[in-house]
Amino acid sequence: MLNWCSLPFSQLTTDQLYELLKLRTDVFVVEQNCPYPELDDKDRINGVYHLLGTSNSELVAYARLLPPGVSFPQVSIGRVAVAGHTRGKRYGQQLISKALEECQRLWPDTDIQIGAQVYLEKVYQQFGFVRNSEDYLEDGIPHVDMVLSNGR
């Protein structure tokens, strides 16, 4: 079982910030061979929360929770990442469940929009997300927009 905390940028410790940026870089830049800037100025926006999942004090799961109007008109979840060496332990499912729970706590009864990598579409469908776009390329990786109506 993972330990969770959800914090705005201003409350992250230096170590937490370093760990989340390292995990995101390891997954999105190195592992996915995606040489695009990882820092997009959304991390510090007022109302954005960083969801950190740790196991034995190691950050192994992360998601960024964004209020309406930042990435999409709706609340959104992005930068969903699980440490490579922990895959197969269902941390990804725990992460999505916790992210949805936190979004409901922060922004009750709102739709949640995501830009999912196409190969993960079925995973998100298990949580109730429905495709609402055609496939598109983002940073050279096929994506699809999906929505969870009323956050449920």
Whether pTM exceeds 0.85: yes
Mean pLDDT, rounded, of the chain: 94
- Measure CA 13 to chain center: 19
Q: What is the DSSP string of 13-41?
A: -HHHHHHHHHHHIIIIIIITT--S-S--S
Residue 38, pLDDT score: 77
Question: What's the average model confidence in pLDDT over 77-94?
Answer: 94
Torsion-angle region of 44 (φ positive above 0: left; ψ -120 to 50: alpha; else: beta) = alpha
Measured from the Cβ of residue 7, the count of other Cβ atoms closer than 10 Å reads 15
pLDDT score for 152: 52
Task: Name the phi and psi angles at 97, rounded to 5.
Answer: -60, -45
Question: What structural domains and CATH numbers belong to the chain?
Answer: 3-107 (3.40.630.30)
Tell me, rounded to whole angstroms, the distance of Cα 1 from its chain centroid. Answer: 19
Q: What is the dihedral of CA 103, 104, 105, 108, to 10 degrees?
A: 120
Nearest-angstrom CA–CA distance, 125 and 93:
12
Q: 52-83 burial string, b = 16+ CB within 10 Å, else e?
A: bbbeeeebbbbbbbbbbebbbebbbbbbbbbb
Confidence of residue 139 (pLDDT cuts 50, 70, 90): confident
Residues 112 and 66: their CA atoms lie apart, in Å, by 10
pLDDT at 138: 87
Minimal CA–CA distance to 53: which of 2, 1, 106?
Answer: 2
Coil, strand or helix at 35? coil
Confidence category of residue 72, pLDDT binned at 50, 70, 90: very high
What the block records as the tokens of 9 is: 């940028």
The predicted-structure confidence for 94-128, as pLDDT tens digits, reads as follows 999 999 999 999 999 899 999 999 999 999 999 99
